[in-house]
């Protein structure tokens, strides 16, 4: 009998005894029958992993587990030579080289990879790593879409074809678009968020034509509010969530009462989407939102996976100077948890995550789901 022929109930029993999230992800990658038999257990323990920038080697990459504060180094040969790695809630990660030209899709858990054409010049290659660090992307089953901040480009993936080239998204030109701060795909549509104006552009995932534009919600900032709030777009089946909040960095420094938070909801099933503010105190219900520098996504919170309901987990990097002369500078990473009900913030700077450091200041951590 082959491994894939093991009885489903036996596979399920084995999965129930796996406590490490990274190990469970590898277990479920063995074959389709193991993945199916362990689906219920995986759903109960569904918690994102944080892909942390690492120069440990050209092959190994670090994954931090929120559940047990453990960093696991896994070999990802396909990532060799790719300085920037941007994870996603679908398991796939975008790798981009130093020069901003070479790009690849890779899966840290399964080891699978897909080559991509060179990124379109000159938008990704002007010698400024900040453009690469802040680029945003997402993929559908058939295509990938990226943005260097201005405009957006798509490339069809095999077997869809398309000649292996990047094409600009019509209607999202470099001249009239604002700053594209996130791209997220859901149910056949790519959603592009302008983080400054909070304007959302919906792009059809098949034709890549602009299907709709969702205008910003009516919103009045508090008196004496001096800083533009951050905007996070979350797409889930049948609806969009727009979370507008103060920077978590400010909430750590100042009192939480100075924070600002509004949550808006828009249904996307009807002919015209419009924002309505969530004012009943329910927030996002029995869900948790995971946010990194370029995307937000929802995960169901349960007693098994240990996630806090109606909360937002935000991953970020920051600069640390380790000597009196400012010569030894490196990056560290943290996760902050914002309670959407009362705006209180817990900063999870502890254990292995607090000890981890990166020699480069030009990369951000990102959430990975599998």
Q: Which two tokens stand for residue 120?
A: 């379109």
Q: Strand, helix or coil at 339? A: strand
In this prediction, residue 252 carries a pLDDT of 42
| DSSP string over 177-238 | ---EEEEEEETTEEEEEETTTTEEEEEETTT--EEEEEPPPP--PPTT--SPPEEEEEEETT
Report the SS3 class of residue 354.
helix
By DSSP bridging, strand 287-291 and strand 311-321 are parallel
CA distance 347 to 338: 9
User: Pick from 121, 112, 176: which is nearest to 139 by CA?
Assistant: 112
User: What is the model's pLDDT at position 15?
Assistant: 77
CA angle 258, 262, 265 (to 5 degrees): 170
Per-residue pLDDT in tens (0 to 9) along the chain, 370 residues: 677 777 888 888 787 777 666 677 777 778 888 788 777 766 666 789 999 987 655 678 888 888 778 888 888 888 888 888 999 998 899 998 877 788 999 988 888 888 899 888 777 765 556 667 788 999 999 999 999 888 899 999 986 555 578 999 987 754 454 688 999 999 999 999 998 889 999 999 999 999 989 999 988 776 655 666 788 999 987 889 998 887 654 444 444 445 678 899 998 876 677 899 988 777 888 999 999 988 899 998 877 778 999 999 999 887 777 666 656 677 888 898 988 888 788 887 667 888 887 767 678 899 998 7
Return d(Cα 218, Cα 242) in angstroms, integer: 12
The pLDDT assigned to 304 comes to 74
Q: Strands across the sheet with 103-106, in order? A: 84-86, 93-96, 103-106, 113-115
Q: Could you give the CA distance from residue 199 to residue 335 in angstroms, rounded to a whole number?
A: 27
Residue 2 in 3-state DSSP?
Answer: coil
Q: 130 is written with which tokens? A: 């900040």
Q: What pTM was estimated for this model as a whole?
A: 0.84
Q: How many CB atoms lie within 10 A of CB 99?
A: 13
Q: What is the DSSP letter of 13?
A: H
Query: Could you tell me if 339 and 309 are in contact, meaning their C-beta atoms sit under 8 angstroms apart?
Result: no
DSSP codes joined into one string, 61-128? EEEEETTTTEEEEEE-GGGTT--EEE--TTS-EEEE-TTS--EEEE-TTT--EEE-PPPPTTTT-SS-
When computed from its CA atoms, the radius of gyration of the chain, rounded to whole angstroms, is 21
Give me the domains of the chain, ranges plus CATH numbers. 46-368 (2.120.10)
């Amino acid at each position: 009998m082959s491994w894939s022929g093991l009885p489903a109930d036996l596979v399920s029993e084995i999965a129930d005894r796996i406590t490490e999230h990274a190990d469970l992800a590898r277990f479920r990658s063995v074959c389709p029958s193991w993945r199916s038999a362990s689906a219920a257990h995986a759903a109960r323990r569904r918690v994102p992993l944080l892909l942390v920038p690492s120069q440990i080697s050209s092959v190994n990459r670090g994954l931090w587990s929120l559940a047990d504060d453990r960093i696991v180094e896994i070999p990802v040969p396909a990532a060799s030579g790719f300085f920037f790695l941007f994870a996603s809630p679908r398991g796939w990660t975008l790798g981009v080289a130093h020069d901003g030209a070479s790009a690849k899709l890779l899966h840290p858990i399964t080891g699978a990879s897909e080559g991509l054409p060179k990124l379109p010049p000159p938008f990704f290659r002007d010698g400024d790593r900040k453009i690469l660090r802040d680029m945003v992307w997402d993929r559908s089953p058939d295509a990938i879409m990226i943005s260097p901040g201005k405009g957006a480009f798509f490339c069809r993936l095999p077997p869809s074809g398309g000649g292996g080239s990047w094409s600009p998204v019509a209607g999202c030109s470099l001249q009239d678009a604002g700053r594209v701060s996130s791209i997220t795909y859901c149910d056949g549509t790519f959603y592009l968020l302008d983080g400054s104006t909070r304007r959302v552009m919906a792009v059809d995932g098949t034709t890549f034509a602009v299907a709709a534009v969702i205008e910003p919600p009516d919103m009045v900032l508090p008196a004496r509010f001096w800083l533009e709030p951050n905007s996070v777009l979350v797409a889930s089946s049948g609806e969009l969530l727009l979370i507008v909040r103060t920077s978590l960095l400010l909430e750590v420094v100042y009192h939480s009462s100075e924070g600002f938070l509004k949550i808006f909801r828009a249904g996307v099933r009807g002919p015209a989407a419009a924002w309505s503010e969530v004012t009943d105190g329910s927030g996002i219900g029995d869900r948790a939102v995971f946010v990194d520098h370029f995307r937000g996504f929802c995960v169901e919170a349960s007693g098994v996976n240990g996630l806090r309901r109606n909360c937002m987990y935000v991953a970020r990097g920051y600069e640390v100077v380790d000597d009196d002369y400012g010569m030894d500078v490196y990056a560290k990473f943290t996760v902050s948890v914002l309670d959407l009900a009362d705006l209180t913030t817990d900063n999870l700077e502890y254990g292995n995550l607090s000890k981890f450091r990166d020699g480069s200041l030009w990369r951000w951590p990102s959430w990975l789901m599998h």
